[in-house]
């Protein structure tokens, strides 16, 4: 009997551990995203726009991801005004950087188009030659993740916050001297702000831990009692069979006759 009660205690402790797992896992990961665009405009430009902050009543904000995509469209020319061939790199590019209202940088992206001039492959720019560029396009995407308290606090609250994007032209020539370069660029940018947070599970959809414990404990006791009863019956079975045999011996014998 002591062993039987001991097993019941062990079963109760095990079921309590299972219920503890249910009570400790009452949150689930969720995300919210929003998109913001800066239209194509001549560089240099600066624009400030609003974004929706994370509502803390939804749960706990764990991470902010900012996905950036920028495109540059440009035209221009380079001219070798020297008396010998010119080698180097022509770069047509823009730079877009995102800031919070406290002037903290949240990301930098540079869509770049490059054109290299080399003597070994015959692309060097001859003396007096000009290379023109028309409607050159380059795009680039990049993402930044933040989980520090300062950034999470900036994106949490009621209503809207503000972000500022600054675009500048960074086109030019590097290489041989005696080159004149002229570039004109336009740039656009798109941003997606993603909130990853822990949302509490609806309490109506998850049973209370004590309710789970009670139900599981009842099942455990039922199984344990059934096994105990089966063991008792098994121990008594030989004695019952002996009684049956004794009763059989005491019965009168039947006589059968055939004609």
Q: Please determine, for residue 255, whether its predicted confidence score (pLDDT) is greater than 80.
A: no
Query: CA-to-CA distance for 35 and 12, rounded, in angstroms?
Result: 52
Peptide bond into 122 cis (omega under 30): no
Using DSSP bridges, classify how beta strands 179-200 and 60-80 pair: parallel, antiparallel or unpaired: antiparallel
Q: Please determine, for residue 233, whether its predicted confidence score (pLDDT) is greater than 70.
A: no
Tokens of 111: 């869509």
pLDDT, greater one: 162 or 19: 162
Tokens of 43: 């560089």
pTM above 0.95, yes or no: no
Confidence band, pLDDT 50/70/90 cuts, at residue 17? very low
Q: Please determine, for residue 12, whether its predicted confidence score (pLDDT) is greater than 50.
A: no
Confidence band, pLDDT 50/70/90 cuts, at residue 231? low
Confidence band, pLDDT 50/70/90 cuts, at residue 243? very low
pLDDT tens per residue, range 151-202: 999 999 999 999 999 999 999 999 999 999 999 999 999 999 999 999 988 6
23 close to 201: Cβ distance less than 8 angstroms: no
pLDDT of residue 172: 95
pLDDT tens per residue, range 42-79: 999 999 999 999 999 999 999 999 999 999 999 999 99
pLDDT of residue 27: 74
Q: Is 255 helix (H, G, I), strand (E, B) or coil?
A: coil
Q: Please determine, for residue 80, whether its predicted confidence score (pLDDT) is greater than 90.
A: yes
- Among 95, 196, 94, 104, smallest CA distance to 145 is for 196
Q: Which helix (H) or strand (E) holds 94?
A: strand 88-100
Instruction: Provide mean pLDDT across the span 12-29.
Output: 54
């Amino acid at each position: 009997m002591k062993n039987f009660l001991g097993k019941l205690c062990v079963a109760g402790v095990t079921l309590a551990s299972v219920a503890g797992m249910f009570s400790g896992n009452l949150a689930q990961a969720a995300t919210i995203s929003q998109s913001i665009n800066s239209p194509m405009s001549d560089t240099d430009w600066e624009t400030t726009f609003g974004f929706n902050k994370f509502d803390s009543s939804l749960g706990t904000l764990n991470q902010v991801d900012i996905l950036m995509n920028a495109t540059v469209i440009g035209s221009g020319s380079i001219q070798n005004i020297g008396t010998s061939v010119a080698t180097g790199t022509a770069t047509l590019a823009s730079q877009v950087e995102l800031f919070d209202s406290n002037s903290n940088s949240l990301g930098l992206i540079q869509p770049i188009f490059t054109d290299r001039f080399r003597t070994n492959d015959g692309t060097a720019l001859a003396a007096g030659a000009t290379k023109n560029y028309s409607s050159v396009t380059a795009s680039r995407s990049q993402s930044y993740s933040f989980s520090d308290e300062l950034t999470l606090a900036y994106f949490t609250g009621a209503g809207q916050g503000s972000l500022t994007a600054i675009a500048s032209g960074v086109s030019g020539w590097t290489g041989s001297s005696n080159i004149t370069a002229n570039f004109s660029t336009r740039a656009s940018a798109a941003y997606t702000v993603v909130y990853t947070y822990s949302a509490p599970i609806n309490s109506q959809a998850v049973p209370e831990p004590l309710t789970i414990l009670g139900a599981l404990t009842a099942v455990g006791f039922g199984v344990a009692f059934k096994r105990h009863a089966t063991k008792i019956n098994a121990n008594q079975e030989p004695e019952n069979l002996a009684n049956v045999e004794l009763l059989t011996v005491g019965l009168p014998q039947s006589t059968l006759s055939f004609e």
